[in-house]
Amino acid sequence: MKKSIFLFTMILFFSCTNENEEDLYSCLDSDSVTWEHSDLNRSISHIIDIKCASCHTDIGLDLSYNLLTLNNAELLKNFITGNAVGYSYSIMPPPGSEPLTSCEEEKIINWINNNFPFDENNR
């Protein structure tokens, strides 16, 4: 009986996973994100690559640093917050695509609010 309880406890303990990015990686340090960062959890270009680039590349739109920071990155900020006007969608990624997590949104907004540093040396 003790073996059964122990085995059940171990199975229960090891079967629990945490797939939520906000729990795995704290957004508390989201102020330290840059376009290119050696730590991919702090890299805005990494978020853009995994969540945005495939669709935009298919239509010939390169989501480069220079494009995304045009006009103080207002268009990017509007798409992230769901406030873009005059486009097919008011939010990106659009409905039906894998959405940004709240942590990714926070990182992008903080990056914009911190004047979109390019790298860890603030170039």
Residue 66 included in any domain:
yes
Residue 37 included in any domain:
no
Instruction: Give the span between the Cα atoms of 76 and 40, in whole angstroms.
Output: 20
Residue 111 included in any domain:
yes
Residue 6 included in any domain:
no
Domain that holds residue 82: 53-115
- Residue located via tokens 């990017």: 76
Q: Is the pLDDT of residue 116 over 80?
A: yes
pTM, to two decimals? 0.72
Q: Can the peptide bond before residue 94 be classed as cis, meaning omega within 30 degrees of 0?
A: no
Considering its fold, how many domains does the chain have in total? 1
- Residue located via tokens 């730590």: 39
* pLDDT confidence tier of residue 79, bands split at 50, 70 and 90: very high
> Cβ-count burial of 80 within 10 angstroms (0-12 exposed, 13-18 middle, 19+ buried)?
buried
Give the per-residue pLDDT at 32: 79
Residue 30 included in any domain:
no
